[in-house]
Amino acid sequence: MTAEALILDGNVVAADIKEKLLERIQGLAEQAIVPCLATILVGEDPSSATYVRMKGNACKRLGIESIRIDLPTETTTEQLIETIHKLNADPKVHGILLQHPVPEQIDERAAFEAIAIEKDVDGVTALGFAQNAFGYADFPSCTPAAIVAILDYYKIPVEGKHAVVIGRSPILGKPVSLMLLNKNATVTTCHSKTENLEDVVRLGDIIVAAVGKPKFIQGDWIKPGAVVLDAGYNKGNVGDVDYDRCLEKASAITPVPAGVGPVTIATLLKHTVDAAEKVAKRKSID
Ligand code: NAP
């Protein structure tokens, strides 16, 4: 029987990140700069609309301006890229977030690549991804950065540990694997073609679930004492791990909701403030 697991409370970590931003936002106000995040939503996917609304509200609560751009479902790649170019050129806008997924006629990669690197606050461009791989990105993708922020906040040792990441998407599984590798973990990245997945997961000291399947990771896949981070967010507020069963085996675990989600939003706000400060610094040099 494992001792009771530590609940890694995302609300606590998010509050800590946001608290540290207040003074910085005030400092920017003294230079007449209001950090501003532009969010683009294409189509009418209800979950995406909820995420965008949550991000906008979080901005407002902290004194960050948020611009929301809603584009119709039938938007073309060219029209979306034109919108992004306008935001790139708008000096008032410091960060651009294109809500994923976009309707299928759109070349999502081309749209992501249109975001200027200095405004790529969610690390979606190839350059942002590469900078993250090298370990010097200004803005690593927000959810991977949130996972690392939770590990840091709770001082969970990563160096030398075996991290098993389930999922290899460009915005989550791959970048979090690289970030853990850069923190000297030994990393195994799993995906839909991984053989004997359960046995691989059983080797992990740190498990990151980024699969997009409710309650996919089972309690008996977890090595006793492992740390479990659940990035999943599925219908009905359910994560990618079977929380109740994994809780019995883990030494620490993120719940869903109130785990990785709020820290992801706080990280997005932090990146927007970081981007605004970079602009302020450039202004003061000119
Ligand atoms: P995604 O693009 O659909 O990627 C899912 C990954 O899981 C893929 O790499 C896929 O493998 C792998 N996978 C699927 N079925 C598998 C299986 N049976 N065994 C092993 N691997 C399997 O999803 P995503 O965008 O990375 O999101 C993953 C989850 O995180 C979702 O629940 C999403 O809602 C959540 N999310 C949360 C936040 C947050 O703020 N908390 C932010 C973003 C995403 P292949 O590559 O082989 O297809």
Question: Would you state the pLDDT for residue 100?
Answer: 93
Distance 184 CA to ligand 1 centre (A): 24
Query: What number is the average pLDDT over the span 22-46?
Result: 96
* Closest atom, ligand 1, to C-alpha of 100: 25
Q: Where are the domains of the chain?
A: 32-116, 141-261
Query: Is residue 193 lining ligand 1, measured as CB closer than 6 Å?
Result: yes
Residues at the annotated binding site for NADP(+)?
Answer: 167-169
Which of 45, 141, 191, 199 has most ligand 1 atoms within 8 Å of CB, for mutation?
191
Q: Quick one: tokens of 163?
A: 């991290």
Q: Model's pTM, two decimal places?
A: 0.97
* Confidence label for 173 from pLDDT (cuts 50, 70 and 90): very high
Question: Would you state the pLDDT for residue 3?
Answer: 80
Q: Is 99 an active-site residue?
A: yes
* Closest atom, ligand 1, to C-alpha of 146: 40
Two domains, one topology: 32-116 and 141-261: yes
Answer yes or no: are the C-beta atoms of 252 and 156 closer than 8 Å. Answer: yes
Candidates 3.40.50.2300, 3.60.40.10, 3.40.50.10860, 2.60.40.1120; CATH matching 32-116: 3.40.50.10860
Residue identifier of the C-alpha nearest atom 17 of ligand 1: 192
Q: Which residues contact 236 (CB under 8 A, 6 or more apart)?
A: 214
* Closest atom, ligand 1, to C-alpha of 166: 21
Question: Would you state the pLDDT for residue 141?
Answer: 98
**DSSP letters spanning 261-281:** HHHHHHHHHHHHHHHHHHHHH
pLDDT at 2 over 70: no
Query: What number is the average pLDDT over the span 159-169?
Result: 98
Q: Is 79 an active-site residue?
A: no
The tens digit of pLDDT for each residue in 52-95 reads 999 999 999 999 999 999 999 999 999 999 999 999 999 999 99
Q: If you compute the radius of gyration of the chain from its CA atoms, what whole number of angstroms results? A: 19
- Mean of per-residue pLDDT scores for the chain: 97
Our CA dihedral for 56, 16, 213, 113, rounded to 10 degrees, sits at: 50
Distance 213 CA to ligand 1 centre (A): 7
* Confidence label for 284 from pLDDT (cuts 50, 70 and 90): confident
Question: Would you state the pLDDT for residue 221?
Answer: 98
* Closest atom, ligand 1, to C-alpha of 168: 9
Answer yes or no: are the C-beta atoms of 126 and 273 closer than 8 Å. Answer: no
* Confidence label for 283 from pLDDT (cuts 50, 70 and 90): confident
Q: Is 122 an active-site residue?
A: yes
Candidates 3.40.718.10, 3.90.1150.10, 3.40.1280.10, 3.40.50.720; CATH matching 141-261: 3.40.50.720
Residues at the annotated binding site?
Answer: 167-169
Question: Would you state the pLDDT for residue 268?
Answer: 98
Question: Would you state the pLDDT for residue 282?
Answer: 87
Question: Would you state the pLDDT for residue 286?
Answer: 77
Which member of 122, 230, 240, 242 is catalytic? 122
Question: What burial class does residue 196 get, using C-beta atoms within 10 Å of its C-beta: 0-12 exposed, 13-18 middle, 19+ buried?
Answer: exposed
Distance 283 CA to ligand 1 centre (A): 40
pLDDT at 184 over 90: yes
